């Protein structure tokens, strides 16, 4: 099967439900209680009139020590349960990363559960084990409970060592 990735003009909860079939908590992170940001740029795949895959991007800023730099936050990566294992996540993540390369961001950044890390490693992402503090509603700043992964967008960019701080809600 050949799938084509497209830029989506918008992405709503109804679109997510169309992909998952209305699954409750499709990312399996609800119990963590971490609020995340909406994404601004969306890529998806339509198959037989139905949205079946999505990846979203949002601009964000990270600091590590005295260094402050722009990142492209990747999130909302999801594929219809009946079409997994066919490269659809790769397709939408690749499209989002290609877009991110034109934004001036130095790194891609995402947060994920440990069992999703092999997928991103396969796509070239690496883990930062130093942890990241992120903003939450009410001016709270908390350690993100998920794993932090990064992708170099500028040539030879290497994620700086040290505890990082994201200057927004996570993606």
Ligand X SMILES: CC(C)(COP(=O)(O)OP(=O)(O)OC[C@H]1O[C@@H](n2cnc3c(N)ncnc32)[C@H](O)[C@@H]1OP(=O)(O)O)[C@@H](O)C(=O)NCCC(=O)NCCS
Binding site for ligand X (CB under 6 A): 26-27, 77-79, 84-90, 112, 116, 118-119, 122
Nearest distance in Å: CB 59, ligand X? 19
Q: Give 48 or 139: the residue with its C-beta nearer to ligand X.
A: 48
- Name the strand (E) or helix (H) holding 108: strand 107-112
Nearest distance in Å: CB 81, ligand X? 7
Nearest distance in Å: CB 104, ligand X? 24
Question: How far is residue 161's CA from residue 171's CA, in Å, rounded to a whole number?
Answer: 21
List the end-to-end C-alpha distance of the chain, in Å, as a whole number.
31
Q: Give 63 or 131: the residue with its C-beta nearer to ligand X.
A: 131
Q: Give 33 or 118: the residue with its C-beta nearer to ligand X.
A: 118
Nearest distance in Å: CB 65, ligand X? 27
Tokens encoding 110? 């995402």
Question: How far is residue 104's CA from residue 69's CA, in Å, rounded to a whole number?
Answer: 10
- Chain centre to alpha carbon of residue 121: 13
- Report the 10 Å Cβ neighbour count for 169: 17
Q: Give 89 or 164: the residue with its C-beta nearer to ligand X.
A: 89
């Amino acid at each position: 099967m050949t799938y084509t990735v497209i830029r989506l003009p918008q992405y709503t909860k109804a679109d997510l439900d169309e992909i998952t079939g209305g699954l409750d908590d499709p990312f399996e992170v609800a119990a963590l209680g971490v609020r995340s940001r909406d994404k601004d740029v969306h890529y998806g795949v339509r198959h037989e009139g139905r949205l079946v895959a999505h990846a979203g991007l949002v601009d964000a800023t990270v600091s590590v020590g005295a260094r402050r730099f722009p990142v492209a936050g990747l999130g909302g990566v999801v594929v219809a349960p009946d079409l997994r294992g066919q490269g659809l996540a790769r397709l939408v993540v690749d499209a989002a990363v290609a877009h991110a390369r034109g934004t001036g961001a130095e790194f891609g950044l995402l947060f994920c559960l440990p069992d999703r890390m092999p997928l991103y490693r396969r796509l070239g992402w690496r883990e930062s084990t130093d942890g990241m503090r992120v903003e939450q509603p009410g001016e709270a700043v908390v350690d993100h409970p998920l794993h932090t992964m990064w992708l170099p967008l500028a040539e030879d960019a290497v994620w700086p060592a040290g505890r990082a701080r994201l200057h927004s809600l996570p993606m």
